[in-house]
C-alpha cells in the first residue's frame, strides 16, 4: 500500500489486481476473504483500528471513551461485558472502528475491508431495503447488494459441503417441517363472522429441512452393526435345533435392516417404563422441591439453567422440497425419499442411519410408513420435536385449568390478557401468549406461597394440598 | 352386626358416588365445595411447575427429565382429547427404549440444540426449523417462488455462518448472562396482589387464613365447563397399562415383542 496511502491495511485484505471495479477481486484475495469468514475468528473485525492508531486516537478524542484508554480498545473480551459502562464503551469502540474502516475503504477502493464485508452480510440477513442499501453502498459503508449476495452464496455452498471434523459418517441427524408462503392475496374479507381479516390467495407449500452432523466426543465413530437380530435367531436355532425358524428372504432382509438400530429387547420393558413411572417422585422431588429449594430472594425460578452447550450447535440448511406439505402419506414418502437420496445413498452423505425430527403429524406419518415399509426405511429413526411437545403440553394444561382457575386470573389481569388467553384456542401459533401467561401465573403462585408458608411446610406439597382441601369428595387423582 | 354396618357404609358410599356422577352429568360438579387455595396449589403442583420443569429440562438438554415429562403427560393428553399427542408419548418412550444403547446415547446427547452457544438456552430441534422457516420468509420478502426459496436457503447457510460470531464480536443480540424472560417483577407483583386481595390476606397469620378459607372464588358458571382437572383425568376409561399396550402394538418395533 505504502506511498499511495498512509493508512495501514492488512495484506490479506488488499486485492492484488488493484482493480476497483472487479466484482469478485482476484481469486487469491477472495479466497482469503472467504477463509476468514469461514474460520469463525472475528477478532479481525477491529483490525483497521488496531493497525491505524493515528486515525483511531483522533476519532476517540472526538467521540470520547469515558474512562477507558485507547489501549483498552484492543481487548475484545471486555466489549462483551454487560456492565452498562462497558456496554457504552463497546458501542464507542465499534463506532470508532467503523469510522476507521470506512476511511480505509474510501481511501483505497481495492481494499476488501473485513468490517465492511461483515456489515454487508449482516445487512443482507436483516433484510435492509434495496433503496437504503444503495444509499449505504454509495457512501462506501457497505458493499453492493449483488456483490454481497454473490459472496454469501459462495460461502453457503462452502459451509454446506464442508466436512465437519469429528462428525459421524455412520449416523446422521435431520429436522423437517412444512412451511406455507402466501404468494399473492386474492380476496381480503375484513368483515368475516369472527371479525378477523382472512386472506385468500395463492399459497406455496414447501417442506424445509436442515441437517446436523452427529459429533462423536470420543473421536471414535459408532459402528452400525447389521443383523444383530438375525444373529440372535441363528444362535437360538443353534442352541435349540428343534426350534423351526423359517424365514423368507424378504423377512431376513427386513429383519436385518430392522436390527440396525433396534436392541434385541422386548417392548414389554417400554410398557413397564410407562406403567411403573413414579409420578409422585417426579412431581414432588424433581419438580416441586427442585423449584422450592431455590432461594426466592436470589434466584428466579425462571432463570436459565447452568448448562454449557459448548458452543452453538452446527447445522446446515438443506434444499427445500417444493410444492408439498406434511399432511399426506405420499408427501411424507417424498420427504423420506429425498432425505434418502441425499444422505443415505450418497447425494451428499452415506449415512447408515438417520434420526429424523418432525412435528407430531410428520412423526406420526413416518412411524406408520416405517411399520409399512420397514426394509425401505430401515435407516430412519423418527423423533418427535420437543418444541411442539412443549407447546401442546401448555395447551393441554390450559384446557384442564381454564375454567377452574385461569379464567378468573385472566379477568383480574384485564383486557390485555382477556384478548389473548381464551377458552378455546387450538392455534398453536399463539403458543407464546399462553407460555407467557402460565409462566407468569406459576412464578406468581410460587412467590405467593413463599410469602405465606414457612420453607419446611413448602417442602411437602401433598400435605399442603391436604391442609387447604375442604371437600371430602375431592380426589387428587 | 359389624358386617351390616360395613355394608351400610358401602351403600352410603355408592349413593355418594352416584350423586357425584349425577352432578357431573348435570355439569354441577364445580359447585362442589372445593377451596380456591386447593385449586391454586393443585395447578402449581400438577401443571405449572411440571411445565416449567419441561422448559428448563429442554434448556438444560436433560433427556431424562424430558422423557419423564412424556410419561407424565399421557393421561392429561388423553383427558383433553389430545389423542395424537398421547400416542406420540407412548411411541417416543418405546422408541427410546428399543434403540441400541449407542444410538440412545446420541439421542440423549443431541436431545436439544443451542442456537448461539449461550448457557442454558437450548431449544427443541423442531424450533431450529421454525427459525429456519422464519429466516427464509424474512429474506424472501414478498417475491416468492420455488427457485427463490432454494436460492435464499443457499444464502442463509452463508449468512448464518457469519452472523452468530459477528454479533458476538459486536456484543449485541441475546448476550450471555442476560436473564430476561419476558415476565417482569411488576406483573408478578400484580398477580400476587390480586391473589392476596382475593384471599383477604393482610400479613398476619396468612397461612391460617388461607387454610381456613372455605370458598372457591375461582368458580365460574360457564356453560362450557368440563369438570375439575383431576375429575377429567380420572374419567379416562382405559387404564394406562391397557392404553400403553394398545399403542405399543401400533408403534415401529422389534420382533421380540411379547
A254: Cβ contacts below 8 Å, ≥ 6 apart = A374, A375, A378
pLDDT at B211: 87
CB contact under 8 A, A465 and B38: yes
All residues of chain A having their beta carbon less than 8 Å from the beta carbon of residue B16 are: 473
All residues of chain A having their beta carbon less than 8 Å from the beta carbon of residue B150 are: 319-320, 322
Q: Is residue A455 part of a domain?
A: yes
Q: Does position B17 have pLDDT exceeding 70, yes or no?
A: no
| Residue from the list B58, B87, B230 with its beta carbon closest to the beta carbon of A476 | B230
B236 in A contact zone (CB under 8 Å): no
All residues of chain A having their beta carbon less than 8 Å from the beta carbon of residue B37 are: 468
Cα–Cα distance between A440 and B51 in angstroms, integer? Answer: 12
pLDDT band at B9 (very low <50, low <70, confident <90, very high): low
Residues A155 and A172 in one domain: no
pLDDT at B6: 62
pLDDT band at B90 (very low <50, low <70, confident <90, very high): very high
CB contact under 8 A, B167 and A122: yes
pLDDT in tens, chain A (477 residues): 444 447 788 888 887 776 655 666 778 888 888 999 998 788 888 888 888 888 888 888 887 655 555 455 444 444 444 445 556 677 787 888 888 888 887 776 677 889 999 999 999 999 899 999 999 998 888 999 999 999 999 999 999 998 888 999 999 999 999 999 888 776 666 565 555 555 677 889 999 999 999 999 887 888 876 555 556 666 666 667 666 555 555 555 555 544 577 777 788 899 999 999 999 999 999 999 999 998 777 678 888 898 999 989 999 999 999 999 999 999 999 999 999 999 999 999 999 999 999 999 999 999 999 988 888 898 999 999 999 999 999 999 999 999 999 999 999 999 889 989 999 887 888 999 999 999 999 999 999 999 999 999 999 999 999 988 864 444 443
Q: Is residue A40 part of a domain?
A: yes
Residues A220 and A280 in one domain: yes
Residue A436: which domain range? 388-468
From residue B50, how far is each of A221, A292, A386, A438, B66 by CA, in Å?
36, 13, 15, 11, 10
Residues A68 and A182 in one domain: no
Q: Is residue A393 part of a domain?
A: yes
Q: Helical H runs in A113-220?
A: 114-125, 130-138, 145-161
Residues A303 and A413 in one domain: no
Q: Which of A51, A46, A11 is nearest to A32 (CA)?
A: A11
CA distance B25 to chain A (A): 16
Handedness of CA A178, A179, A180, A183 (dihedral sign): negative
Q: For residue range B140-152, what is the model confidence (pLDDT) as tens digits?
A: 988 899 999 999 9
How many domains is chain A built from? 3
CA distance B2 to chain A (A): 24
Size of interface A-B (CB pairs under 8 A): 532
Residues A432 and A364 in one domain: no
Interface test with A, best of B39, B140, B157 (most A CBs within 10 A): B157
Q: Cell numbers at residue A229, please?
A: 437380530
| Residue from the list A80, A407, A449 with its beta carbon closest to the beta carbon of B171 | A80
Task: Select the more confidently predicted residue: B27 or B35.
Answer: B35
pLDDT at A432: 93
Domain boundaries, chain B: 31-114+226-258, 122-173
Residues A444 and A426 in one domain: yes
CA distance B45 to chain A (A): 6
Residues A368 and A403 in one domain: no
Which class for A116: exposed (0-12), middle (13-18), buried (19 or more C-beta within 10 A)?
buried
The mean per-residue pLDDT over the stretch B10-23 comes to 56
Residue A398 has, within 13 A of its CA and on its CB side, a CA count of 27
Interface test with B, best of A96, A128, A168, A287 (most B CBs within 10 A): A287
CB contact under 8 A, B158 and A121: yes
B83 in A contact zone (CB under 8 Å): no
pLDDT at A267: 85
Cα–Cα distance between A61 and A39 in angstroms, integer? Answer: 34
A97 in B contact zone (CB under 8 Å): no
Q: Is residue A392 part of a domain?
A: yes
| Residue from the list A177, A265, A441 with its beta carbon closest to the beta carbon of B191 | A441
Residues A17 and A150 in one domain: yes
Q: Cell numbers at residue A350, please?
A: 452415506
Interface test with A, best of B126, B137, B190, B192 (most A CBs within 10 A): B126
CB contact under 8 A, A154 and B158: yes
B219: Cβ contacts below 8 Å, ≥ 6 apart = B30, B31
Of A141, A160, A179, the position where a domain reaches its end is A160
Residues A334 and A203 in one domain: yes
Average pLDDT of the residues of chain B: 86
Task: Check residue A420 and give left, alpha or beta (phi > 0: left; psi -120 to 50: alpha).
Answer: alpha
Residues 5-44 of A with CB under 8 A from B: 37-38, 40-43
B154 in A contact zone (CB under 8 Å): yes
| Residue from the list A40, A358, A367 with its beta carbon closest to the beta carbon of B252 | A367
The mean per-residue pLDDT over the stretch B237-255 comes to 88
Q: For residue range A359-406, what is the model confidence (pLDDT) as tens digits?
A: 999 999 999 999 888 888 989 999 999 999 999 999 999 999 999 999
Of A341, A376, A411, the position where a domain reaches its end is A376
Residues A140 and A43 in one domain: yes
Q: Is residue A250 part of a domain?
A: no
CB contact under 8 A, A363 and B257: no
B148 in A contact zone (CB under 8 Å): no
A60 in B contact zone (CB under 8 Å): no
Q: Does position B29 have pLDDT exceeding 70, yes or no?
A: no
Residues A354 and A459 in one domain: no
Report the DSSP beta bridge partners of residue A380. A354
Could you report the predicted ipTM of this complex, rounded to two decimals? Answer: 0.88
pLDDT at B5: 56
The mean per-residue pLDDT over the stretch B192-216 comes to 90
CB contact under 8 A, B98 and A277: no
A98 in B contact zone (CB under 8 Å): no
CA distance A18 to chain B (A): 26
Residue burial B103-128, b: 16+ Cβ < 10 Å; e: rest: bbebbbebbbbbbbbbebbbbbbbbb
pTM for the whole structure: 0.84
Q: Is residue A184 part of a domain?
A: yes
Residues 176-215 of B with CB under 8 A from A: 176-179, 181-183, 187-188, 190-192, 194-196, 198, 201, 206-207, 210-211, 213-214
Of A349, A376, A403, the position where a domain reaches its end is A376
CA distance B12 to chain A (A): 13
| Residue from the list A302, A312, A364 with its beta carbon closest to the beta carbon of B164 | A312
Interface test with A, best of B188, B189, B214 (most A CBs within 10 A): B188
Secondary structure letter of residue A220 according to DSSP: P
The mean per-residue pLDDT over the stretch B4-18 comes to 58
Residues 37-66 of B with CB under 8 A from A: 37-56, 58-62, 65-66
Bridge-based pairing state of the strands A167-189 and A198-215: antiparallel
Chain-centre distance of CA B152, in angstroms? 35
pLDDT at B59: 96
Q: Does position B113 have pLDDT exceeding 90, yes or no?
A: yes
CB contact under 8 A, B106 and A214: yes
Q: Is residue A97 part of a domain?
A: yes
From residue B200, how far is each of A53, B43, B204, B206 by CA, in Å?
67, 20, 11, 9
pLDDT at B165: 87
Q: How many CB atoms sit inside 10 A of residue A180's CB?
A: 12
CB contact under 8 A, A127 and B45: no
Q: For residue range B152-168, what is the model confidence (pLDDT) as tens digits?
A: 999 999 999 999 889 88
The mean per-residue pLDDT over the stretch B134-138 comes to 93
Residues A212 and A156 in one domain: no
Chain-centre distance of CA A356, in angstroms? 15
Q: Cell numbers at residue A91, please?
A: 458501542
Interface test with A, best of B30, B127, B154, B257 (most A CBs within 10 A): B154
A466 in B contact zone (CB under 8 Å): no
pLDDT at A7: 78
Q: Is residue A254 part of a domain?
A: no
| Residue from the list A155, A392, A444 with its beta carbon closest to the beta carbon of B188 | A444
Side by side, the strands of the sheet bearing A316-322 are A316-322, A198-215, A167-189, A353-358, A380-384
Amino acid at each position: 500500500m505504502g506511498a499511495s496511502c498512509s493508512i495501514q491495511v492488512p495484506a490479506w485484505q488488499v486485492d492484488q489486481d488493484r482493480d476497483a471495479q472487479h466484482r469478485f477481486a482476484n481469486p487469491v484475495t477472495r479466497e482469503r476473504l472467504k477463509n476468514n469468514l469461514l474460520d469463525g475468528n472475528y477478532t479481525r473485525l477491529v483490525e483497521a483500528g488496531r493497525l491505524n492508531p493515528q486515525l483511531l486516537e483522533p476519532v476517540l478524542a472526538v467521540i470520547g471513551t469515558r474512562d477507558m484508554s485507547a489501549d483498552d480498545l484492543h481487548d475484545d473480551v471486555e466489549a462483551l461485558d454487560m456492565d452498562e459502562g462497558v456496554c457504552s464503551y463497546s458501542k464507542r469502540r465499534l463506532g470508532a472502528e467503523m469510522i476507521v474502516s470506512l476511511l480505509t475503504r474510501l481511501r483505497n477502493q481495492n481494499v476488501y475491508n473485513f468490517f465492511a464485508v461483515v456489515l454487508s452480510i449482516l445487512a443482507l440477513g436483516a433484510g435492509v431495503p434495496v433503496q437504503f442499501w444503495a444509499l449505504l453502498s454509495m457512501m462506501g459503508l457497505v458493499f453492493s447488494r449483488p456483490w454481497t449476495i454473490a459472496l454469501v452464496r459462495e460461502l453457503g455452498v462452502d459451509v454446506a459441503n464442508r466436512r465437519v471434523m469429528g462428525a459421524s459418517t455412520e449416523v446422521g441427524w435431520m429436522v423437517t417441517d412444512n412451511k406455507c408462503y402466501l404468494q399473492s392475496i386474492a380476496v381480503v374479507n375484513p368483515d368475516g363472522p369472527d371479525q378477523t381479516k382472512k386472506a385468500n390467495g395463492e399459497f406455496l407449500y414447501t417442506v424445509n429441512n436442515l441437517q446436523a452432523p452427529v459429533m462423536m466426543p470420543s473421536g471414535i465413530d459408532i459402528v452400525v452393526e447389521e443383523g444383530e437380530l438375525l444373529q440372535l435367531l441363528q444362535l437360538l436355532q443353534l442352541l435349540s435345533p428343534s426350534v423351526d425358524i423359517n424365514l423368507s428372504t424378504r423377512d431376513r432382509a427386513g429383519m436385518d435392516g430392522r436390527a440396525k438400530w433396534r436392541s434385541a429387547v422386548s417392548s414389554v420393558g417400554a410398557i413397564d417404563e410407562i406403567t411403573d413411572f413414579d409420578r409422585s417422585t417426579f412431581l414432588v422431588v424433581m419438580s416441586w422441591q427442585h423449584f422450592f429449594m431455590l432461594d426466592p430472594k436470589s434466584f428466579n425460578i425462571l432463570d436459565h439453567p447452568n448448562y454449557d452447550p459448548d458452543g452453538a450447535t452446527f447445522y446446515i440448511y438443506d434444499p427445500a422440497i417444493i410444492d408439498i406439505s406434511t399432511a399426506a402419506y405420499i408427501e411424507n414418502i417424498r420427504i423420506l425419499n429425498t432425505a434418502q437420496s441425499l444422505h443415505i445413498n450418497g447425494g451428499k452423505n452415506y449415512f447408515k442411519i438417520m434420526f429424523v425430527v418432525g412435528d407430531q403429524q410428520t412423526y406420526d406419518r413416518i412411524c406408520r410408513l416405517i411399520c409399512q415399509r420397514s426394509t425401505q426405511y430401515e435407516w430412519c429413526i423418527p423423533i418427535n420435536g420437543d418444541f411442539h411437545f412443549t407447546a401442546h403440553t401448555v395447551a393441554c394444561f390450559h384446557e384442564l385449568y381454564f375454567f377452574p382457575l385461569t379464567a378468573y386470573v385472566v379477568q383480574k389481569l384485564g383486557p390485555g390478557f382477556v384478548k389473548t388467553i381464551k377458552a378455546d384456542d387450538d392455534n398453536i401459533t399463539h403458543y407464546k401468549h399462553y407460555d407467557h401467561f402460565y409462566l407468569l401465573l406459576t412464578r406468581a403462585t410460587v412467590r405467593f406461597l413463599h410469602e405465606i408458608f414457612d420453607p419446611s411446610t413448602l417442602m411437602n406439597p401433598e400435605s399442603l394440598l391436604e391442609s387447604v382441601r375442604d371437600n371430602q369428595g375431592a380426589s387428587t387423582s | 352386626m359389624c358386617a351390616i354396618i360395613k355394608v351400610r357404609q358401602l351403600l352410603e358410599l355408592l349413593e355418594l358416588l352416584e350423586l357425584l356422577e349425577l352432578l357431573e352429568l348435570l355439569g354441577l360438579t364445580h359447585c362442589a365445595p372445593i377451596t380456591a387455595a386447593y385449586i391454586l396449589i393443585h395447578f402449581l403442583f400438577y401443571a405449572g411447575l411440571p411445565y416449567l420443569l419441561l422448559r428448563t429440562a429442554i434448556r438444560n438438554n436433560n433427556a431424562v427429565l424430558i422423557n419423564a415429562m412424556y410419561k407424565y403427560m399421557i393421561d392429561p393428553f388423553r383427558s383433553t382429547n389430545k389423542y395424537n399427542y398421547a400416542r406420540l408419548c407412548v411411541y417416543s418412550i418405546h422408541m427410546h427404549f428399543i434403540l441400541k444403547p449407542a444410538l440412545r446415547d446420541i439421542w440423549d446427547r443431541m436431545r436439544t440444540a443451542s442456537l448461539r452457544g449461550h448457557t442454558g438456552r437450548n431449544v427443541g430441534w423442531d424450533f431450529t426449523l421454525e427459525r429456519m422457516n422464519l429466516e427464509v420468509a424474512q429474506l424472501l420478502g414478498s417475491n416468492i417462488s420455488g427457485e427463490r426459496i432454494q436460492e435464499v436457503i443457499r444464502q442463509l447457510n452463508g449468512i448464518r455462518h457469519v452472523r452468530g460470531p459477528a454479533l458476538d464480536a459486536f456484543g449485541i443480540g441475546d448476550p450471555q448472562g442476560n436473564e430476561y424472560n419476558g415476565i417482569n417483577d411488576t406483573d408478578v407483583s400484580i398477580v400476587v396482589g390480586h391473589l392476596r386481595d382475593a384471599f383477604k390476606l393482610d400479613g398476619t397469620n396468612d397461612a391460617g387464613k388461607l387454610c381456613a378459607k372455605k370458598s372457591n372464588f375461582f368458580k365460574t358458571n360457564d356453560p362450557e365447563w368440563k369438570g375439575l382437572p383431576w375429575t377429567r383425568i380420572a374419567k379416562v376409561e382405559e387404564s394406562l397399562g391397557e392404553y400403553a399396550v394398545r399403542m405399543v402394538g401400533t408403534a415401529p418395533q422389534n420382533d421380540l415383542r411379547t
